[in-house]
Structure 1
Amino acid sequence: MTDKRFHLAWFMNFTPDEWRAPFGQGGYPWDGQFYVEMAQTLERACFDYIMIEDKLMVPETFGGDRKFSLANGMMAPKHDPAPLAAAMGMATRNLGVVATMSTMAYPPFMLARLSSTIDSLTRGRFGWNVVTSAEDLAAQNFGMDVLPPREQRYAMADEYMDVVGQLFDSWDADAVVLDRENGVYADSTKVRAINFEGEYFKVRGPLNTVPSPQKRPVYVQAGASPRGRDFAAKHADSIISVANGIAGMKEFRDDIRARAEKIGRNPDEIKVLFCITPTLGETEEDAKAKYRRVTTSDHFVNDVLASISAITEIDFSQYDLDKPLPEKLVTNGESGTLDKFQQWGSGKTLRELAAAEGGGLVSSMELIGTPAQVAEKMGEAMAEVGGDGFLITTPVLRVSRHYLVEIADGLVPELQKRGLVRTEYRHQLLRDNLQEF
């Protein structure tokens, strides 16, 4: 890879912003305008895409009830990402917008139709973050008592991807003829039923939407387990990853690329982006003081543990904050996140695990300092890893305008000065911008 540039994206969700902080929006109103303006800020900084995370339940694992989650605005309330993605996309011209939608919750036809519609509304800049859902509480909102085992969820998801792929292909690219003279809008010989009947899904088709600019959305995925990596290597255009240090980033990316090559995919088609949370200051001392102040607060520790509890369905409130975890834990939920969080054998207390890079929710990489210092470290990391870029985020996904400006007007110009990230968009479609380098 000769081009040293890498991609930038942002990982967020449609929940209250950093409402407790001095520079917070305050958590209201819920009209989405704060996040629309966020998208416009990221477009100004030439980010590739903004991704909206989602969960389909009010968490009740931490402490055994929903009190903490609601009192602290942690993962609830959480509004639907798809309408927000459409709003952000229609208020921007170049930024990609990615919505999380679960294969458990959306019938394949509905998801394909919704994705096609938003891709048209955004003129070819929509992406779908493919998730299978990992919480029994979410399953119980869709007629199940518990989730299927992880292996079965991925088997279902593989079939799901086959179904939606056939639906996106059910219209030929030139099916819309707009023949006014003969009164023909679409050529019926170029639109066909798929008559799919598999182990888990049965769908007649065709879609009733016209082919969108990208024909199908960009596929984003975050599989971390061996089965998840296989799924991501097979389907994803971009992969979200949380890794232990630069060596862990390189191992993950090399592994994904090897899995892709094994099944005949060009690994350069897959852009692996690592979650990071830079802490910026006017001086290195300012940044370090800010980092200590944030990560040692009781709010931060409990919010991180509540977030980890929700996605792993393990109640971390039952363990002593100032002692190591008493046992190696397992889950049917997000096992990759749990494995990174535990750091089994490290001797760290639970409080230290929560404070360390957001408790496993971001990659372990010390990015604390001035914008110039952090930009230099990011460039060095990507040079060693080999690509492909970073997702900026925060440990519990809250964001403030203050932090956005630090990134967009502080960090990004330093990255651009070094020739590490784009300074303009050269393509209309999100997929083309991702494949540019």
Structure 2
Amino acid sequence: MSANRFHLAWFGAGGFGVKSWRKTWSGNGGWDWTSPQLFIDLAMALERACFDYLIIEDSSYVPDAYGGNAQAYLASATATPKLDPTVLAPVLAQATSKIGIVPTLSVTEYHPYMLARKINTMDHMSGGRTGWNIVTSSSHRAAQNYGHDQQVEHDLRYDMADEFFELACKLWDSWEADAVALDERNGVWADHTKVHTVDFAGKFFSSRGPLNANRSPQGRPVFTQAGGSDRGKEFAASTADSIICGTAGGVAEMKRFRDDVHQRMTRLGRPTGACKILFMCSPVVGETDAEAREKRAQQIAFAEEHPELGLLHLSRHSGIDFSVFPLDEPIPDTVSTNGHQQLLRQAIGLTPREFLRRTQGAVEMVGSPDTIAAQMDEIMQEVGGDGFLISNFDLNRRYISEITDGLVPALQRRGLVRTEYSHPLFRDNLLEF
């Protein structure tokens, strides 16, 4: 096995919602999206390919940033509808036995006790394979659904996340590892001296504790996070077991991001090996390089024919109405957002049309399985690790197979990714190398 092994994970873009529809390989995706079967098929295929984890993205509002109304989002089923990922996650856990399942839950939409209890339950039910994708919701529309006028300021949301995380961890630790005695002779199921209140009173949250169930197999879930701003990277460096990086700008920018996070971790007293940084990508796979290039050309042509579909996401994440921006004039550096700052930075200076041509992730990957496997190997050697997070907004079963039955075997033949899981617990597999 190669010493240069790296990790693979999958980002479920669009969450538990409509995936591919009205396309050649969409199947019945427009109307049977509420069934978990596509996600079950995805999770089982990813486990067969020995992926570390599957993230289920989420948001809890109907977007209306583009054009000032929800028409384009609802007409195209973009970012809405969505069902609750915490209901889907246990279904996927029951259909699998090794892969990590990571629902997205927002610190601005949950109370720490509710979230800690929910995640503790899922980790028990999955046998120690649950994660928490930590997000701070950015949309004012989401805030309004929970009784607030608007979201708090960007950096303050991370202050809230710091406190939320601290309290949730105290709750997960409120039962000592050996608190369950199962002493049938003396009639003692749990030792009360090993179950503790937390009596937490912070600026934003408070809770007496303890949780009303014992520690799960992992104790605490695996934490994933996608902060790309300075404040976001600081939070991720202090908490995350795996960081999702959606940076653009190529290999040099990928390396700068990883080095930056490692410097922050070192300053915070965390070993750099305690967090795996996975870079977002969306490989375009064909049987030959020529076939893959043709598929990519078709993607670009579709994006240019339907520019609003690509700009819906940029508007949603930034809260800026990009329907009013000329397609062939650069996006000015005077625009700002209280939302996803990294994504907006990637768009500034480009024209909207140029932004639409951009590949998802830092590097464009187009080719046969062997071509892309060689490219991934070269990238990881230059960046230093730790792997890739594959995503596709237009998800269908054909694409799943192209990755799990085409690309992954090509990577395995080179000794670049695992061929089996070594441990029963999610965190142990993630931190194995």
- Normalised by the shorter chain, which TM-score bucket? over 0.9
- Hey, what does 2:183 align to over in structure 1? 179
Q: What is the SS of the residue equivalent to 2:47? A: helix
User: Aligned match of 2:429 in 409, 426, 433?
Assistant: 433
- Hey, what does 1:412 align to over in structure 2? 408
Distance 1:281 1:328 in 2: 41
- Hey, what does 1:338 align to over in structure 2? 344
> 1:305-384 to 2 correspondence within 5 Å?
305-342=311-348, 344=349, 348-357=350-359, 362-384=360-382
Distance 1:162 1:222 in 2: 18
- Hey, what does 2:310 align to over in structure 1? 304
Distance 2:61 2:377 in 1: 38
User: Aligned match of 1:46 in 50, 64, 75?
Assistant: 50
User: Aligned match of 2:20 in 18, 21, 29?
Assistant: 18
- Structure 2 CA distance for partners of 1:276 and 1:192, relative to 1, 3 Å: same
- Hey, what does 1:277 align to over in structure 2? 282
Deviations 1:293-347 (A, max 9, x none): 11221466322210111111011111122332245421000101111222x2xxx
Distance 1:260 1:325 in 2: 34
> 1:2-13 to 2 correspondence within 5 Å?
3-12=3-12, 13=15
Whether the 8 Å CA contact 1:86–1:121 is kept in 2: the answer is yes
Distance 1:11 1:369 in 2: 21
Deviations 1:163-212 (A, max 9, x none): 00100110001111111122111111100110000111110000012110
Whether the 8 Å CA contact 1:295–1:301 is kept in 2: the answer is no
Whether the 8 Å CA contact 1:257–1:267 is kept in 2: the answer is yes
- Hey, what does 1:260 align to over in structure 2? 265
Aligned pair 1:250/2:273, yes or no?
no
User: Aligned match of 2:389 in 380, 388, 391?
Assistant: 391
TM-score (normalised: structure 1): 0.95
Deviations 1:364-406 (A, max 9, x none): 3121011100110001000000000000002xx2300010000
Q: What is the SS of the residue equivalent to 2:181? A: strand
Q: What is the SS of the residue equivalent to 2:280? A: strand
Deviations 1:225-260 (A, max 9, x none): 111110000000000001221001100001001100
Whether the 8 Å CA contact 1:294–1:300 is kept in 2: the answer is no
Distance 2:269 2:89 in 1: 32
Q: What is the SS of the residue equivalent to 1:297? A: helix
Whether the 8 Å CA contact 1:6–1:420 is kept in 2: the answer is yes
Distance 1:144 1:173 in 2: 39
- Structure 2 CA distance for partners of 1:80 and 1:137, relative to 1, 3 Å: same
Deviations 1:59-78 (A, max 9, x none): 00011101111110100001
Deviations 1:282-303 (A, max 9, x none): 2212111111111221466322
Whether the 8 Å CA contact 1:16–1:398 is kept in 2: the answer is no
Q: Which amino acid aligns with 2:73?
A: S
Distance 1:307 1:20 in 2: 19
Distance 1:177 1:405 in 2: 46
Q: What is the SS of the residue equivalent to 2:56? A: strand
Deviation at 1:134, TM superposition (A): 0.8
Q: What is the SS of the residue equivalent to 1:275? A: strand
Deviation at 1:20, TM superposition (A): 2.1
Distance 1:379 1:367 in 2: 12
Q: Which amino acid aligns with 1:368?
A: V
Distance 1:296 1:337 in 2: 22
Deviations 1:78-105 (A, max 9, x none): 1111111111011101011001000001
Whether the 8 Å CA contact 2:254–2:362 is kept in 1: the answer is no
Distance 2:36 2:364 in 1: 32
Whether the 8 Å CA contact 1:301–1:355 is kept in 2: the answer is no
Distance 1:263 1:324 in 2: 39
Q: Which amino acid aligns with 1:275?
A: M
- Hey, what does 2:145 align to over in structure 1? 141
- Hey, what does 1:127 align to over in structure 2? 131
User: Aligned match of 1:155 in 132, 153, 159?
Assistant: 159
Distance 2:357 2:310 in 1: 8
Q: Cα RMSD over matched residues? A: 1.2
User: Aligned match of 1:84 in 76, 82, 88?
Assistant: 88
Deviation at 1:281, TM superposition (A): 1.0
Whether the 8 Å CA contact 2:281–2:364 is kept in 1: the answer is no
> 1:32-111 to 2 correspondence within 5 Å?
32-111=36-115
Q: What is the SS of the residue equivalent to 2:88? A: helix
- Structure 2 CA distance for partners of 1:71 and 1:170, relative to 1, 3 Å: same
Distance 2:300 2:46 in 1: 25
Distance 1:379 1:231 in 2: 29
Aligned pair 1:194/2:192, yes or no?
no
- Hey, what does 1:28 align to over in structure 2? 31
User: Aligned match of 1:237 in 229, 237, 241?
Assistant: 241
Whether the 8 Å CA contact 2:279–2:362 is kept in 1: the answer is no
Distance 2:309 2:138 in 1: 19
Gaps of 5+ in 1: none
Distance 2:20 2:133 in 1: 24
Distance 2:218 2:347 in 1: 37
Distance 1:141 1:319 in 2: 28
